[in-house]
Chain A
Amino acid sequence: MSLWVDKYRPRELTKLDFHKEQAENLRNLCKQSDFPHLMFYGPSGAGKKTRIMCLLREMYGAGVERLRSETMTFTTPSNRKVEVMTVSSNYHLEVNPSDAGMYDRTVVIDLIKQVAQTHQIEINGQREFKVIVISEGDELTKDAQHALRRTMEKYVATCRIIMSVNSTSRIIPAIRSRCLGIRVAAPSEAEMTAILQSTCKREGLALPVELAKRVVDKSERNLRRALLMLEAAKVAKSPFTAQQEIPDLDWQVFLRETASQIISEQTPAKLEKIRDRLYELLTQGVPPNLIFRGLVEHLVNNCDMSIKARTLELATEYEHRMQNGAKHIFHLEAFVAQFMSIYKKFTSELLMDEF
């Protein structure tokens, strides 16, 4: 009994709900005897992974769905053992080298060589190469990417690499040029609504158009999130109503509350409480740039036009510093402190004017 997201995930290229033209192209690609390294890029929840799996199935048949997970152990040059979990079938191997943190280079080198040096066992297999799927490719360090670029060429006869990345900007040009980029854009709202509707239909539920629209809005065009939300909404209130409440994600709620607290009171003591809340967000793994974004969105919505620009300026400044710094909280806190300062100044001036 899996979640709807996984339950109704399309398994074949032909069954994809959006970007159908692209799916057709991918099918044609598979029909040729060979295909280049691929790089799927697009935002989270757009269906990159789904497409990759469909593509693999198109190439190797249903065999790729017989997955097994293995833990592979790598030894770094400094004699440290790194364990990385891989998911593989007979035809492909999926790995997330960034699991190894700073040792991802070792993973890339060892793993790819290991795979590349062993030929396909099954002679009847449609392809004479294996596929390595690298997920979260943009998390790879520069070193790992450089290690990748040579092996990509060297072992091209025996293996293909399919990378799944969110943004190509963090991929070095050398790799970008070696891969055929396939952009998987987030589905349009109409597409998403359609998908939600069809899902509900399969579940035997009637989804009011309005609710679907709200879910789509809320999910920020992240299909995965939209489906999860819809399911949660179903749990909360089974026959859907147009105005029913859609449960929010906890971290989003928390972040919003934090922002409103900043607006409500500007004192050092409050700042300290805000710090604790920011810590909480950070420990829960909310990426600091998401925190920044969430804060800014809410703050800007709640403050006067005159300080909006300044707030954005501060946010960009501190976000930049955060990327160059080590401890995120320092910069988040500095941003909050600065905002408090200007907001307080603004409100006190406002009061003065009134008198």
Chain B
Amino acid sequence: MQRIDQFFKPVPGSTKKSNGDDETPSKAPKRRKPMIISSDEEEIAASPQEPKKRKTNRLVLSSDEDQVVASPDVSRAKKRATNGAGGKKPALSKLKPMQKVDPSQLFGGETNRVEKPKQKTKAVIEFEDEDIDKSLMEVDLDQSLKAMEPKDTEKERVAVARKSPSRKRAKPSSPEPTKRSSPEAPKPKKRISPEAAKPKTPEPPKRSSPDTPKAKAKPKTTTPRVKKEKPSADLETSVLTDEERHERKRMSAVLYQKFKNRSACLNPGSKEIPTGTPDCLKGLTFVVTGVLESMEREEAESVIKGYGGRVMTVVGKKLMYLVVGEEAGPKKLATAEELNIPILSEDGLFDLIREKSGQGKKKQVKEEVKSPQKEEKSESRPKKEESKVKKELKQESLVKVEKKDSKVKKEKEEAVTLKVKKEESLPAVTLKVKKETTSMDTSQVQQRPVEKPLDQGSMAWVDKHKPTNIKEIVGQAGAASNVTKLMNWLSKWYVSHDGKKKAQRPNPWAKNDDGSFYKAALLSGPPGIGKTTTATLVVKELGFDAVEFNASDTRSKRLLQEEVSTLLGNKSLYGYVNGQSQAVSKKHVLIMDEVDGMAGNEDRGGMQELIALIKDSSVPIICMCNDRNHPKIRSLVNYCFDLRFQRPRLEQIKGKIMSICFKEKVKISPAKVEEIIAATNNDIRQSINHISLMSAGEQIPTQSQAKAEPKVACKDLKLGPWEVVRKVFTAEEHKRMSFADKCDLFFHDYSLAPLFVQQNYLQVTPQGNKNDILAKVAATADALSIGDMIDKRIRANSAWSLLPTQAFFSSVLPGEHMAGHFTGQINFPGWLGKNSRTTKRARLAQELHDHTRSCTSGSRLSIRLDYAPFLLDNIARPLARDGQDGVSAALDVMKEYHLLREDLDSLVELTAWPGKKSPLDAVDGRVKAALTRSYNKEVMAYSYSAQANIKKKKSETGAGDEELLGLEEELEEGETNRADSDEDEDKDNLELDGLIKAKKKSTAASTSKAAGGSKKSTAGATAAKPKSRAKK
């Protein structure tokens, strides 16, 4: 229905209100072109065809319109004009009863258009018109649907239509007629081409320049005047009115058509919406009309509203700015001109925002503000032109009536202009409003996905407030900071790597190494703390040119080889191009960002190549990564000057954030900033993003948001297990927590949480009666036991849906039972350590079992629980009792049970109980050494010996006792050579040992070794070692 309305609106409007009517036709040519270009071919084709089909309809319609037209009451017309929308309704109501046409026919744009030609036929037809119709029919018959031709014809039609009134009235001149004076066919084409090329360029504000669009704009304003006279002329010449009426109708239809096909904004998002101060447009009123270049109208309106401006729909006295776009509503423009309202283009609006928010405004604003005046000037000029044109036309004119008309016009023209404009404005506005609504509909449908977020800052804060020099980097101010280190390293790089001297590889534990040995630096640390910033700034500071490769570049071996190595050989022209003093620099730095992202097929072999590159690089390389301990990175670390970035402290970040807040005029409490920083785990970048987000939220403050904010910050916090346990058991925390919150605590780390709870629940002193404590403890332990069962079920059956249940039993319930306060320290769960010790001992027992299996009968368990203590006792007893003499007895037992020397240590560990002395403790160290020695000499290797030896070496057991044994082993190695030589030496050695032993045991061992070594030739000692090994 709306469509019908819109279609008919203009018609009655036009008939009654000459002004409104004329405007539309004048616009029509302009509008129709885009429509044609978009070439709804059907439409074009349909128009000629339909006349035949729908004759009856048209007849009816035409007659109806005749009626409307027939009563050309000036007064009535004016009435309608005043209540724009109302004007249409009567026409509609009249139409409806008359219509026998089914609505569908009326709905389509084609039908509308079709009707007009019909009317033409009905009306007294002008010669030219007929011609056009014929040509159209021919086109139809040809079925040639080429866009151009129909366009031409249509244009011709329009042109002719135009001419005709002009001829009739002699004066109603338009810029078009000037062109039309030359042969008709080519002209339209010409007009199309420029428009097709730049349909949107003619922005209203730029009208001042002599452009075709402008010229068209003028006709709009001028023609109205012409039409004003029509009512009077109507009486005189019915033929003319008829023709005009039909013309208007067609124009209005075209207008509608055009409106329907109105394009959405041309380049959505092509321009940056300036970020102004929040209320920079406060108190200003705007009307937006036409299609803006980079924004949807809604968008523009929301921008204005966002900056505190008010958006109106009607151009009135209160209006302060009219923002115009392509195809702006002519009436609005006219009224704006009249009321001296500044007309802004889209750019103008932006400049205004910038200006008001204190940023530098651009020249354009001024231009735009001026534009209204210019327009006025331009208007006056065209008028003159028009008159000239009209004169020419007059000569051509064939029909007398037209002359009369023109004369009448001439007379009235000057006087009426202003009034006409005023009257004109209203219907136009109504028209516009309608159009806007539909355009919104269509544009919303089409453009929604493209729509941009409202407050799209020109830059993210993170980039905006990026440190610009090294002093601004957060937490890197100290003399020992990474920045300083990197600076030093980089500045000395070319000196220390000039190929002359070879620096010594520094001790990895050296503290004050300047990294001069390394050709590359590795910056490692968690994200968001300024590694990349540091690197780039340092490079900048030192005047190096950076070549950066990050994870977005493929960094496979081949690529690195080819690209980087060639790149590094190049000289940078950057300085030259940018006109810096240093024309061509040779100093490059290769920045390999995100090296830990070198992964997958793409970057295969990248790391090796990078290492190779570093090895023979002629430029410094800065690598960056997050996880220094990643296996892939570990190989790289050896070739890099290792700079580890720590997270800056909270206060350091806070300072930076507060200054940003100040700059951005965001009010935020320091406590909240702290909270946010803590929530982001001291990540500067993320903190800034959070603040930015919050500030964005503030611009359109909704109550719900404002309320939710403090909570949001809380929720973002990730708790460590210690904090979780504290919360689980602290009664005060419980007051503020719902059941779900308590469950959530468990989910901070659901694998560790139960262990932490189990470890620490006994540290809690629960509230309430002291006598009940044990009952509470028991209940807690019970809940934990159930929780463990659930845990097993979850892991064994992958029944992860049980996790909440486990949360209840392993965390919530204990918390409920034991709610109170911690009296002791919260400990790390002991279970993990105990568990690994359990497995280790189980492994030892397994080995022991394996070794003794051929001569014992027991299972692993019985070996461990029954045999082990007796076995150890049997070995240790002779040693403890007889010292050196007991060695052979002990060795016999070991041989009997196929034990390795290492198994003795296992036995010791497996039989160790707190508070119980190991039987081997009573044995003198030397005796043990002797045992080891003789073991190595006598016992043949077992099939599992070698393997056990390797294992032993790998897992160096750390117990003090074993350390001693280890030492003795060494000692023994030194002494084996001696042992086979003669007893005397051995005794000598023992004496020596005895002497030194008084001081210190360990030194005794080492010195005895040394003594052994000195007595024998060193060569002999070394030769002995393999011997002893071989025996094994």
Contacts and interface: CB of A to CB of B under 8 A. Distances in A.
A284 B916 CA distance: 14
A318 B911 CA distance: 28
B877 interface: yes
Contacts of B859: 44, 96, 135-136, 166
Contacts of A111: none
B548 interface: no
A341 B785 contact: no
Contacts of A341: 774-775, 777-778
Contacts of B904: none
Contacts of B792: 324-326
Contact of A99 (B786, B846, B913, B914): B846
A312 interface: no
B873 A232 contact: yes
B791 A325 contact: yes
B284 interface: no
Contacts of A87: 853-854
B942 A251 contact: no
A340 B779 CA distance: 11
Nearest to A51: B857
Interface in B823-847: 830-831, 834, 837-838, 841-842, 845-846
B542 interface: no
A266 B865 contact: no
Contact of A268 (B777, B845, B874): B777
Given A232-B870, A334-B785, A285 B913 contact: no
Interface string B780-792: 1110111111011
Contact of A287 (B861, B869, B913, B943): B861
B157 to A, nearest CB: 82
Interface string B874-912: 100100000000000100110011100000000000110
Contacts of A283: 834, 837-838, 841
B913 A284 contact: yes
Contacts of B762: 268-269, 271-272, 275
B893 to A, nearest CB: 5
A1 B857 contact: no
A9 interface: yes
B841 A326 contact: no
Given A2-B896, A9-B857, A280-B914, A326 B947 contact: no
Contact of A6 (B846, B856, B865): B856
B778 A224 contact: no
A334 B896 CA distance: 44
B860 interface: yes
Interface in A340-354: 340-341, 344-345, 348
B360 interface: no
Interface stretch (A63-71, A141-149, A237-245): A63-71
A49 B834 contact: no
Chain B interface size band reads 35 or more
B855 interface: yes
B850 A69 contact: yes
Interface in A39-94: 44-45, 48-50, 53, 67-71, 85, 87, 94
Interface residues of A, number: 72
B862 A44 contact: yes
Given A224-B857, A285-B842, A1 B889 contact: yes
A260 B600 CA distance: 61
B871 interface: yes
Contact of B871 (A3, A225, A329): A3
Interface string A90-111: 0000101001000000000000
Given A68-B943, A268-B777, A250 B838 contact: no
A337 interface: yes
Nearest to B838: A283
A286 interface: yes
B28 to A, nearest CB: 79
Contacts of A49: 857-858
B782 A338 contact: yes
Nearest to B870: A228
Contacts of B860: 96, 99, 136
B795 interface: yes
A2 B893 contact: yes
B654 interface: no
**Among B795, B874, B914, which residue has the most Cβ atoms of chain A within 10 A?**
B874
B775 A71 contact: no
Instruction: Please classify the interface of chain A as helix (H, G, I), strand (E, B), loop, or mixed, using the class held by over half of its residues.
Output: helix
A229 B773 CA distance: 44
B867 interface: yes
A202 interface: no
A157 interface: no
A251 B913 CA distance: 8
A235 B851 CA distance: 25
Contacts of A271: 762, 777
Contact of A70 (B782, B851, B913, B943): B943
A71 B944 contact: yes
B771 interface: yes
A340 B842 CA distance: 31
Contact of A1 (B850, B858, B862, B892): B892
Contact of B897 (A2, A9, A228, A321): A2
B785 A321 contact: yes
B602 to A, nearest CB: 26
A331 interface: yes
A269 to B, nearest CB: 7
A282 B836 CA distance: 11
A18 interface: no
A155 interface: no
B865 A251 contact: yes
Interface in A1-29: 1-3, 5-6, 9
Nearest to B914: A280
Interface in B924-976: 942-944, 947
A126 interface: no
Contacts of A6: 855-857, 896
Interface in B746-769: 758, 762
B785 A268 contact: no
A191 interface: no
Contacts of B778: 334, 337-338, 340-341
A49 B860 CA distance: 13
Contacts of A67: 854
Given A2-B897, A325-B792, A71 B857 contact: no
A349 B874 CA distance: 51
Contact of B791 (A9, A71, A282, A326): A326
A285 B774 contact: no
B866 interface: yes
Contacts of B898: 69
A330 B758 contact: yes
A224 B868 CA distance: 12
Contacts of B788: 321, 325-327, 330-331
Interface in A120-149: 135-136
Contacts of A326: 788, 791-792, 795
B858 A69 contact: no
B830 A279 contact: yes
Contacts of A337: 774, 777-778, 780-782
Closest 4 A/B residue pairs (Cβ): A49-B857, A341-B778, A337-B781, A334-B781
Interface of B: 758, 762, 771, 773-775, 777-778, 780-782, 784-789, 791-793, 795, 830-831, 834, 837-838, 841-842, 845-846, 849-851, 853-862, 864-867, 869-871, 873-874, 877, 889, 892-893, 896-898, 910-911, 913-914, 916, 942-944, 947
14 contacts: A2-B855, A2-B897, A6-B856, A44-B861, A53-B857, A68-B943, A69-B943, A87-B853, A285-B845, A325-B791, A334-B781, A334-B782, A340-B778, A341-B777
Given A136-B860, A337-B778, 9 more contacts: A48-B857, A69-B944, A228-B870, A268-B762, A268-B773, A325-B785, A325-B788, A326-B792, A345-B774
